[in-house]
Structure 1
C-alpha cells in the first residue's frame, strides 16, 4: 500500500502538533509495511502513484480542494478540528474578531484563509473554495471522504454538530513514543513548564499573568506563530523575572525539561489533545489543562482543569498541581493506549476500510 499524506504549506516552517502527528504516524506505518510520502499542500503530487491520499487539517480545506479536483484517488481525513471561535468572539480586536461577532465562525475561517494567502503567501488555488466558502467546502469534502480519522469520539461528535455530513470513522488517538525508561521522575522537580507554539490561541499571556512576579518559576518553550509576533512581544513585555523563554526545543531537550519541572500547564482556548500534555504526564509532570475541547476524553479526572479566560482559575489550578503527586493511572493509560504504534494500527484500519469500499 502506498499513501500520500498531505498537509499545510507551513507544516515544517511553523511546526505544531500536526507536524509531530504526521511524522510519527508515517514512521510507524512504514514499520508496518505501508509506503508513505509526506507532501505539502502546494506541492505537485503524482496521484497515480498512490492507493490512497491522507489529508490533515479540515479547517485548511482550501488547501485540500485543488487535490480533489485533480485526482480521483480515494482519500481519508484526519480533521484535527480545532474551534477557536470563542476566543475570536470574545477577545480578538482585529478584523477577524469583528467578522466572527457579526457573521460567525465559518465566515471568520474563510477570511483567515484569505489573510494567510495575503500575509504569508499560503496559496488558495481553488475557485470552488472562493465561491462556496468555508462551511460548504468542508461539508463537501467530508461527505466525499472514504473514512474520517478523528483523534477522539468527542472530536467526531463536534464535527457532526458543526457540519452536515455522513460518513464512516475510526478514532485514531494521538500518541507518544515509549521512552527507554519509565521510572519515577517525580523527585526534585520544581516549577511550571508550558510547551507549545506561542500564539494568542495557546494563551501563554494569561499563564504569564497568573504567575508573574510570584515565587514560582515558569519556563515557556516554543516559537511564535507567523501571524502572532506582536502577541509574542506582549508576552515578553509582561513577563516577570521568574519567567524564562526558550525557542522550539528538540525532543531530547524537551524530555529533560519535562523531567525537571513539577507542573505542565496548557491553558489553550481549545485542545483536541495536546501532544505535549501526553509527553509531560509520561515524565511525571502534574498537568493543568484547559477545559475547552476534547481533553477529558484523554485525561479524565487525572488532571486539573482551568478556564483559559480566568487568570485566577489558571493560578489556582497551578497552585493545587504544585502540591500534588503525578497520576500513575494516567501514566499507565498513556503507555498502554496512547502510543504512536497504536495510532498507526488504527490509521491502517481506516486505510483498509477505505480501500475495501473503493474496490
Structure 2
C-alpha cells in the first residue's frame, strides 16, 4: 500500500481542467485518506439517502450505513419523515435490517426487545427489575434531514451549514423537466463493489468512457460525442447529452416532435455521491457510499410519474447491463491503484466534471476556497426565460 503525499494531493485538487491530471493512486488506497473524507465529508455535510416517494406510507423505512453511522429514514404515523439512529440505546445493536422495509408498529431491538416509537422515543424495555430507566434520556438520536424535489439529504454534523447553499442556482436549469410531477418512487437492490467510492463516483459522472465501456448499451442511445458540460462548481454540476430518437418516423409524424430541450438528458451530480440522470420521463440515480478504502455501497433508485413495470423488462435489463459494465470497469481500475510506480496522466475536456468533484473535496478537507461557478454557452438552452 502506498501512502498519500498530502501536499501533492491538495495541489492536484486545486488544478483547473487546463492543468488537471489524475490523482495519485494512494488517494484510492490509503486508509488515512478515507478517514479524512469520512470526518470532513460524510460526517459533516449533506449526503443523499433516499427519496420521500420511496417511503409513501406511515411505517415505511430505509436503513443504511452512512460511512459507519447506522441510520434509519422513517416515515412516522404523523406523515413526517425523520432520520434516526439505527443503533439501540441499550447496547448498540442495529435495530432495522438494511434496505427498505415496513414497521409492524414499533421499532424493536432484536437483542433485548427495547422498543421505540416511529419517532424514536423509548416506549419500554422488558424485565427491568428494580432498575429505573429514564425514557427521555434513551430516545434514538435524530439528525437534520432536508428534501429537494423529494430527494432526502441527511447531515450528521452538530451544526450543519444551510442546505440551501448547496443547491444555489441549480434550479435555473431544471424548469423544463417539471420535477414536481414525479410522485412515485422505486428502488433497486443495493450492490457492493470492490472499488473506492471516489473511483466509482468519477466513473459515474464522466461521459468519456461511454463509447468504450458501454458500447452496446449507453453509447447506442447517448453517444459520447453528444455529451457536453452545462454548469458546475464544488457544490453541484450539470452535464448533458443528446438522446437518440427511439420513435419511428411514423410515430413522430403522428405525435409530433419532442421539444429540443427535452431531447437531452441531464446528469445531475450532487457531491459527495449522488449521480442522477434526469429526463422528462424520470429522475433515476445511483448513490455511492464508502465501505472501507477499497469498497463501496451502490444504491440505485428513481422517481417518476408512474411505477416501472414489475419483473424483467427490456428497460430493467438494459439498466442492469450498463450497471454491471460500470462495476466491472471500476473494480478493474481499483486493481491498478495498487501499482507503486504507476501514475496517471492528463485529463481531457470531457472530464471537466472531475475538477468540480475535486473542488468539493478541496473545500471540505483543506478549507480552501474552490473555483467559482463555471457555465457554458451550450447550457443556456436549459434556462427558461
Structure with the largest fraction of helix: 1
TM over 0.5: no
> TM-score per shorter chain, which class?
under 0.3
Report 1 or 2 for greater relative contact order, CA contacts < 8 Å, sequence distance ≥ 6.
2
